[in-house]
Amino acid sequence: MAEVDGVRAGCVFCVRGDDVTAKLRLLLVDPAARGLGLVARLVEECLRFAREAGYESITLWTNDVLGSARRIYQKQGFELVTEEPHHSFGHDLVGQTWQRRL
């Protein structure tokens, strides 16, 4: 959970994928708090937590249209491992799975 001046501004979930793989899930930042570096900080905290919990790697799923998020994941060492077209939210999209070693 991220706060700005005592107000909730964002969150990220880190969940079990399997015995050795964590999953970064549901990374959210309030639009009013964007540009403050919270997304990068939340990703860093998720990686730290997964590492301390004993996971060897971490994955995440996103859509290719989310360019800003993908750039943050890339800066944190994630690499694209698969892409798959899908139809969601009334649009044709390309889902992506990203992974990195911890």
CATH code, 14: 3.40.630.30
What average pLDDT does the chain have? 95
Find the domain containing 90 and state its range: 2-101
The residue type at 1: M
Please tell me the distance from the alpha carbon of residue 87 to that of residue 82, in angstroms, as a whole number: 17
pLDDT in tens, 10-56: 999 999 999 999 999 999 999 999 889 899 999 999 999 999 999 99
H/E segment holding residue 53: none
Domains of the chain: total = 1
From the list 4, 76, 15, 77, the residue with the least C-alpha distance to 44 is: 76
Model pTM?
0.89
Can you tell me the distance from the alpha carbon of 53 to that of 34, in angstroms, rounded to the nearest whole number? 29
